[in-house]
Amino acid sequence: MSADDKNRQEIIRLTLSDSPMPDIQIDGMPEFAPGWVWLAGAGPGDPGLLTLHAVNALKQADKVVYDALVSEDILSLVRPDAELFYAGKRGGKPSWNQQDVTNKLIELAKTGHRVLRLKGGDPFVFGRGGEEAQALVAADIPFRMIPGISAGVGGLGYAGIPATHRDVNHAVTFVTGHLAGKGQAELLDWASIAKASPVIVIYMAMSRLAVIAELLLQAGRSSDEPVAIVTHATTARQRIAMGRLAEAAKLAETHTLEPPSIIVIGEVVNLAETLHWFGDKPL
C-alpha cells in the first residue's frame, strides 16, 4: 500500500442522533476506509467516557475485535451488521493468544474490512496496543490509534481520588502488579518506586497485593499509609474500599473485592472522603 493510500482517509460528519442526547453533529471526523485497522480505547467502562473518535469508529467498523473489559453497553453501539470477535479470556476454555489476535486483525484487514480493535482503558497503557500496532506495521496494514481514558486516571476520578494534588504529590507512578509474583519481584525496582513516587497506582495487582505491600513496607513506606481499592470503576458495580498499607491484602478479602480493580497508595486517597461523588460511599 502506498503512502498516498495510507493517507486516503476522508473527513466525515459524526451524528449522534440515536442517543437520548440532543442531536450533535461534528464535522471533520475521519472516514474508516476498508483495509484499515483502528486500535481504540473504550475507557474504563462507563460508555460516557468513550471519545468521539471511538464512537465514530464503532459507527463505521464492520469487524470488531474486543477484549473482556469492554462493556456490553459499549458494544451495543456497533453497527447492527458488524461482526464481533471476542479476544479475551474465557473462564477455563481456550482463549486467543496475542499471535491469534494479531493474525485475526491482519486477516480481516487484508480481506478489505474496517477492523476496530477495541480495548479497555487506553490501548497503550498495559494493553499490548503497542505490540499490535507493531504487528500491523510489519504486515503493512494502515492503522489509526485512538487513545482512551485509562482506568488509573478515569477510575480514580470516579472514586474522588485525584491522581495528583498540589499539596500532596508532584509525581505519580503507574505500575503493573503482574510482575510482583514469586521470582518476579526483582523485575521491577519496587524500592525505587517507593522512594520516588508519593502516589502509586497499580494495575492488575489483586492477586499480588500482599507481596506488593510487603515490598513497599520494606522500602520504607509507612504501614499507616492510605490505600484504596477501586473495583469496577465508573460502572454501576463500582465499589471503593479504603484502608492502610499494612492491611491492603486483608482489605480486598474483607470486602470480597475482585478484578478488575485499581489500587492507589498515597495520601491522595484521603481526598475520597470529601471528593467521593459516584456510587456507594467508600467502605
Active site residues: 67, 89, 204
- The residue among 113 and 149 lying less far from ligand SAH, judged by its C-beta, is 149
Nearer to ligand SAH, 77 or 229 (CB): 229
Closer to ligand SAH at the Cβ: 113 or 163?
Answer: 163
Provide the minimum distance between the beta carbon of 197 and ligand SAH in the complex, in angstroms, as a whole number. 17
CB of 238 to ligand SAH, least distance (A): 7
The nearest distance, CB 135 to ligand SAH, in angstroms, is 17
CB of 39 to ligand SAH, least distance (A): 11
Cell numbers given for 36:
484499515
Return the number of the residue (122 or 225) whose C-beta is nearest ligand SAH. 122
Do residues 276 and 240 lie in contact, with contact meaning Cβ atoms separated by under 8 Å?
A: yes
Give the residue nearest to ligand SAH (CB). 121
CA dihedral (29, 31, 37, 42) positive or negative: positive
Binding site for ligand SAH (CB under 6 A): 44-45, 69, 119-122, 125-127, 150-151, 155, 203-204, 230, 232-234, 259-262
Q: Shortest gap between Cβ of 134 and ligand SAH (angstroms)?
A: 17
| Alpha-carbon 25 to chain mean position | 27
**Which one, 56 or 150, has the nearer CB to ligand SAH?**
150
